[in-house]
Amino acid sequence: MTHTRFIPRCHEDAPSFNGMPAWFSSLLYARGIQSDEEAQCFLNPSLRDLHDPFLLPGMAETVALLRKAVAEEQTVLVYGDYDADGVCAASILLETLHEEGAKLAYRIPSRHTEGYGLNTDAVREIAQKAQVLITVDCGVSNAEEVALAKELGLTVIVTDHHQPPEVLPKADVVMDPLLGDYPFRGLCGAGVALKICQALQGMAGVEKRLDLAAIATVADVVPLQDENRVIVREGLRRIETTSRPGLKAMLDASATQPPLSADDLAFRLGPRLNAAGRLGDARLGVHLLLTSDPAKASNIAAMLEEANRTRQRFEREMTAQAVTQLDLPTLADSHVVLVSGEDWNPGLIGLTAGRLCERFHLPAIALSTHGDTAVGSCRSIPGVSIYKALQACEDLLERYGGHEQAAGLTVKTENIPLLRERLESVISSAAPEETFLPAMDYDLIVPFRTWNPDSIAWLSRLEPTGCGNPPPLFLLQGAEVQAIRRVGKDGSHLKFTVLDEDLSIVEAIAFGAGDAADESPRTLDLLYRPTLNSFRGHTAVEAQVEALNII
């Protein structure tokens, strides 16, 4: 079993906040909270905490151009992306502008035939039927396409949240929270669209569309801090009581019931919206979210449900093919994983890259080759910016863009071997060697007797958890194994009992770790989260183990 480094997040000298247990104050401090006022704001996020949308550079100009388009009856075309963020962002803006009286059209490019962002053929088509082009969740890296749009007489508003290049497109407006001095830089594409809604309609418009922004915020894995924490917390409440036919149908089809958590958005609703663009037409997601017809919503939700099941099967197959390309013994000396397949589904290569990154704890790139061109998707590990790594290879690339932890690229097939060599060199020098060893962060070491229904209720106040506000994990060291066995239909899970250092009995479950039983361990170090397990009217605290090391 691979040994994982356990790294503490919390500091021993963390301050104590009023009315809170010391251990809980430490959790808040590790999440950037430094005062009682900040603690109260974090634990009680409110719509009042949303920033003035006009602090976003370009917002005043955007609102003026959109109001001018409405007044002059110009057609506004909303151009989105084919993932859940892009679909939700397009839906938010379309719904908002419809209420404002705009003449509307929209376009979501095909992942399979057009790829990410604007393309010249699309721009030429748009110029034939619209006067205003506004992008959501894309466009900041499309200088050439924006220049063409301007030549063809379009008013162009770019709204995006991805890393801006050194040279921005010469649009009428470029709005990105990473530009200028906006107070929060972590919005997703739908979050930026929600700020446009806020600027146009105030908080009344925002409240109608928090549901869509919440799904996108979690699905796009942006930090659940500041405005995003408000969006997801309030959005979850509205999804639970939604009257939106599309969301009701998707909740029913996926058997998702209240109370909802961020995990439900990450692993249930988000993947189903993503499935449309991965395997077919992402516009299905827009139709689902905007329809007022329950029957139509039910039909589309069923289609997405089937698409998601197909996606899961194809993803397993593609990942298995990718692993066969790797020389596993040499990976210990590698700093990047790069795999490719002829005509691999472009909608699944990001998932495959993610699986490889997670399995081998290395930055991973999956490429789908077609003739002399390959389209790729990248996922990285903490401490290594894949965007900067691609930037160092830009002379080999046709195009690229993204974030520190996820990015996309297009490369000539003949350049793939050189790209692999260059990335190995760049990435190996980008971070200390220990960065590439498997590691997991944990928050605290506390006696297991700390946990009871009341203390676990304190943990629930950290919700919603996810990127930027991770679910708290605790370390149990030197736990003496009393009993251990495989469980589950295929014996893939591990059920065991241990004693902690003060001889408290700890019942534990580790999903997917059944093989550890074969090693008959006597002592374990565990990373766990405490949960309440109710059975036949009896409630007990159980350790849900996220990682274990055999000592």
In a domain, residue 122? The reply is yes
Q: What distance separates the 2 farthest-apart alpha carbons in the chain?
A: 76
What's the pLDDT at 2?
A: 67
Report the chain (551 residues): mean pLDDT per 10 consecutive residues: 83 85 94 93 96 98 98 98 97 98 97 90 98 97 97 98 94 97 97 98 98 97 96 98 97 95 96 92 97 98 96 95 92 94 92 95 96 95 94 95 89 97 95 90 94 95 95 96 95 95 92 94 96 84 96 90
Based on the domain organization, do 538 and 414 belong to the same domain? no
Tokens of 466: 């996810």
How many CB atoms sit inside 10 A of residue 240's CB? 16
- DSSP states along 8-22: E-S-TTPPPPTTS-H
How many CB atoms sit inside 10 A of residue 449's CB? 13
In a domain, residue 451? The reply is yes
What's the pLDDT at 402?
A: 84
Count of structural domains within the chain? 3
- DSSP states along 93-126: HHHHHHHTT-EEEEE---TTTT-SS--HHHHHHH
Smallest CA-to-CA distance from 504 within 485, 478, 522 is with: 478
Based on the domain organization, do 470 and 340 belong to the same domain? no
Distance between CA atoms of residues 111 and 115, nearest Å: 5
In a domain, residue 289? The reply is no
Based on the domain organization, do 387 and 455 belong to the same domain? no
C-alpha dist (Å) from residue 308 to 277, 289, 313, 341, 347: 11, 17, 9, 22, 12
**Sign, Cα dihedral of 506, 509, 514, 516:** negative
Tokens of 146: 């924006």
Based on the domain organization, do 81 and 143 belong to the same domain? yes
Among 181, 206, 239, which residue terminates a domain?
239
Under a CB-based contact definition with an 8 Å cutoff, are residues 337 and 357 in contact?
Answer: yes
Based on the domain organization, do 233 and 93 belong to the same domain? yes
Cβ burial 284-300 (10 Å sphere, 16+ → b, else e): bbbbbbbbeeeeebbeb
Tokens of 536: 């036949």
Based on the domain organization, do 464 and 386 belong to the same domain? no
Asked, as a colleague might, if the bond just before 245 is cis with ω within 30 of 0, I would say no
Tokens of 204: 């009344």
Domain encompassing residue 207: 53-239
Tally the C-alpha atoms within 13 A of residue 341's C-alpha that lie toward its C-beta. 20
Based on the domain organization, do 58 and 183 belong to the same domain? yes
Under a CB-based contact definition with an 8 Å cutoff, are residues 214 and 263 in contact?
Answer: no
Tokens of 433: 């060697």
**Sign, Cα dihedral of 511, 515, 516, 520:** positive
Based on the domain organization, do 408 and 340 belong to the same domain? yes
Residue given tokens 């909802």 in the structure block:
260
Among 432, 463, 479, which residue terminates a domain?
432
Determine which helix (DSSP H) or strand (DSSP E) holds 75, and give its type and residue range: strand 75-79
Distance between CA atoms of residues 125 and 448, nearest Å: 63
Smallest CA-to-CA distance from 107 within 57, 72, 70, 145 is with: 145
Distance between CA atoms of residues 144 and 155, nearest Å: 15
* CATH number of the domain where residue 472 is located: 2.40.50.460
| 549 DSSP 8-state letter | E
In a domain, residue 305? The reply is no
In a domain, residue 192? The reply is yes
In a domain, residue 414? The reply is yes
Cα-based angle 36, 42, 46 (whole degrees, multiple of 5):
120
What's the pLDDT at 539?
A: 85
Among 382, 411, 432, which residue terminates a domain?
432
What's the pLDDT at 1?
A: 59
Residue/partner pairs of 228-231 with CB below 8 Å, 24 or more apart: 228/184, 228/186, 228/187, 228/188, 228/191, 228/468, 229/42, 229/45, 229/464, 229/469, 230/45, 230/46, 230/47, 230/49, 230/50, 231/191, 231/194
Based on the domain organization, do 394 and 461 belong to the same domain? no
Based on the domain organization, do 401 and 513 belong to the same domain? no
Based on the domain organization, do 422 and 444 belong to the same domain? no
- DSSP states along 9-57: -S-TTPPPPTTS-HHHHHHHHHTT--SHHHHHHHHS--GGGSPPGGGST
* CATH number of the domain where residue 366 is located: 3.10.310.30
Based on the domain organization, do 417 and 529 belong to the same domain? no
* CATH number of the domain where residue 88 is located: 3.90.1640.30
In a domain, residue 416? The reply is yes
Residues facing residue 79 across a β-bridge: 107, 135
Alpha-helix residue ranges (DSSP H) falling in 128-267:
143-151, 189-219, 226-240, 245-253, 262-264
Q: pTM for this one? A: 0.91
In a domain, residue 133? The reply is yes
What's the pLDDT at 201?
A: 98
